[in-house]
């Protein structure tokens, strides 16, 4: 039948005149590249924290909350590749970037033993007003990408944001923790117990938001928490 051939021909012509560009260098992508060309993907400033138990992400939460593991995919710097990608995800409606980053992150986590004990992936939630304005939760897109690779469910229906907080920018850790007080709750219609949760977010700075989320989740029966962020801020 000619239909598959015609579909491929149409796709080839479309790509010729309207090529999909790399989000990094803006050069045309070739199959099977997605979001980033191979050259840009190789330039992603990966931390390899998943290979180090006492990495900077884990040390940030040590003594603050009980957790199983904590890791970060790449370093986030001003005007760096990850900053460019996350800007597109958060402010330009490019949800596919979040899914891609989550998938790349999860592929690296497959090298670990602890990731196999995860039962559920939960993103840091957005307040409904902010989610309505953006159209989606960027951290849920990342969670979906992780879920695609790990084959573990991801949901944003359990941990809810009920307080529209001020921006955390330019606040100290103490001020951020104060800002997060009463910001989250567990959906009373959802049962959550005996679960190892992978709590994920886009960028880690002071960890105040993740700490607040973890503390609410840990109030449930027999909950274990691991933390995964796509980026960690580098000053």
> What is the spatial distance between Cα 123 and Cα 159, in angstroms, rounded to a whole number?
8
Nearest CA-CA partner of 190 in 116, 125, 235: 125
Beta-ladder partners of 101: none
What is the arithmetic mean of pLDDT over 161-184?
74
Q: Are strands 193-204 and 221-233 parallel, antiparallel or unpaired?
A: parallel
Token pair belonging to 76:
């986030």
pLDDT tens, 45-86? 999 999 999 999 999 999 999 999 999 999 999 999 999 999
What is the arithmetic mean of pLDDT over 17-33?
91
What the chain holds in terms of domains, given with CATH numbers, is 1-43 (no CATH), 45-233 (3.40.50)
Nearest CA-CA partner of 219 in 178, 184, 175, 180: 184
pLDDT tens, 193-212? 999 999 999 999 999 999 99
CB distance 158 to 190 below 8 Å: yes
pLDDT of residue 1: 44
Statement: residue 146 has pLDDT above 60: yes
pLDDT of residue 207: 95
Poorest-pLDDT segment among 9-13, 110-114, 159-163, 220-224: 9-13
What is the arithmetic mean of pLDDT over 154-162?
96
Q: Calculate ∠ Cα 208-210-215, nearest 5°.
A: 95
Radius of gyration of the chain (CA): 19
Token pair belonging to 221:
């029966």
């Amino acid at each position: 039948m000619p239909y598959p051939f015609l579909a491929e021909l149409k796709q080839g012509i479309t790509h010729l005149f309207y090529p999909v560009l790399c989000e990094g260098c803006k050069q045309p992508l070739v199959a099977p590249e997605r979001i980033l060309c191979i050259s840009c993907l190789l330039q992603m400033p990966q931390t390899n924290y998943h290979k180090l138990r006492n990495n900077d992400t884990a040390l940030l939460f040590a003594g603050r909350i009980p957790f199983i593991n904590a890791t970060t995919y790449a370093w986030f710097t001003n005007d760096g590749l990850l900053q460019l990608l996350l800007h597109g995800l958060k402010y330009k409606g490019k949800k596919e970037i979040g899914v891609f980053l989550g998938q790349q992150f999860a592929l690296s986590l497959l090298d670990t033993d602890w990731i196999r004990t995860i039962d559920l992936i939960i993103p840091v939630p957005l307040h409904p007003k902010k989610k309505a304005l953006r159209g989606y939760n960027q951290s849920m897109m990342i969670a979906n990408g992780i879920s695609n690779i790990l084959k573990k469910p991801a949901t944003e229906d359990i941990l809810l944001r009920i307080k529209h907080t001020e921006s955390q920018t330019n606040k100290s850790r103490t001020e951020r923790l104060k800002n997060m007080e009463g910001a989250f709750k567990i959906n009373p219609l959802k049962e959550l117990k005996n679960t190892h949760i992978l709590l994920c977010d886009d960028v880690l700075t002071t960890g105040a938001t993740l700490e607040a989320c973890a503390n609410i989740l840990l109030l449930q029966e027999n909950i274990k928490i691991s933390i995964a962020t796509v980026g960690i801020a580098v000053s």
